[in-house]
A = this chain, B = another copy of it.
Amino acid sequence: MKVLITGGLGFIGTNLTAELRRRGYETWACDLTHSDRDYYRRCDIREYRQLDKLLSEQAFDFVYHAAAEYGRWNGEDYYENLWMTNAIGTKHIVRLQEKLRFKMVLFSSAEVYGDYTGTMAESVMDTTPLKQMNDYAMTKWVNEMQVLNSAAMFGTETVRIRLFNVYGPHEHYTPFRGVVPTFIYKALHDQPYTVYRGHKRTFEYVNDVCVTLANISERFKPGEVYNIASEKQYEIKYLSDLILTKLAKDDSSVSYKNAEPFTTKLKRGDFSRARQDLEHACPTSLEEGITRTIRWMRTAYKIPEEVRQVAVR
């Protein structure tokens, strides 16, 4: 099987490439920049010609469409890139899918549940009116409707996945990233960061998620949509404390604040469908996942444990 991962240099793309290669697939990746990787092509999905060239030349059986401008605040600050990459770029891919007939996995997000505050089951949008609370969330819901409409009109075959809070190695820190890379990076560099009290989240270790994602290629149900979530809810402060403990640091650089405005206090995803169809599970404990993520981040940012300990003394 010949597979393409768009956004293949990104956090999930990098991990998914490894998992699909482990399974023996001819796994290609594309992303915005040039790279030294094999089976890789530079391709900006905003540019139809670049996509057309890549997809027409290679005859992929399967496309994991992970390329996207990611995150709520990034989307609010860089909304031009957001709409061009997510809405136009995805429409380009859907148009090419209508012609070339590859199967697709569309990366969506729990953000599509918008202002819904109950347990998020996949069927919520069929039974409950929702409004997305930011442009990033809107683009992801737009993407889902784009593939649904294409399936209805042209018979294209796509599975949608809604990711919750994936974390792990290869997620580089930027000010627009989530709490895990932010807390680890800031703590490693002895920089201040803020912890909002009263928010609870689940955390899914990226290797566990990539096993589930790879399983889709073997158990493909066109038109299906899956929450990729986990069970256990953690206070954000618990996560921060866990990271600080593992780094043998105190919380003197941490500011604590009450509820973050315009952000849900609790996100609970029903993932029974993914468990049943895809054997989705998250066996890696948060403690173990954080240990591995810290180890990767020390390597990525060249902060060896020994040196830190000497510096701390």
Contact = CB atoms under 8 A, between A and B. Distances in A.
Interface string A75-105: 0000110011001100100000000000000
Interface string A1-12: 000000000000
Q: Is the interface of A mostly helix, strand, loop or mixed?
A: helix
Contact of A131 (B133, B148, B153): B148
Contacts of A142: 135, 138, 142
A262 interface: yes
A127 interface: yes
Contacts of A87: 79, 83, 87, 135
A87 B128 CA distance: 24
A129 interface: yes
Contacts of A135: 87, 91, 142, 146
Nearest to A125: B129
Contacts of A126: 129
Contacts of A128: 129
A153 B262 contact: yes
Nearest to A138: B142
A145 interface: yes
Nearest to A137: B145
A249 B152 CA distance: 39
Interface string A137-163: 010001001101100110000000000
A132 to B, nearest CB: 6
Contacts of A127: 129
A84 B46 CA distance: 12
Given A129-B129, A149-B134, A84 B79 contact: no
Nearest to A124: B129
A130 interface: yes
Given A83-B88, A84-B88, 7 more contacts: A79-B87, A79-B88, A83-B91, A134-B149, A135-B146, A138-B145, A153-B262
15 contacts: A83-B87, A83-B91, A84-B88, A87-B87, A91-B135, A126-B129, A127-B129, A129-B129, A129-B130, A132-B145, A133-B149, A134-B149, A135-B142, A135-B146, A153-B262
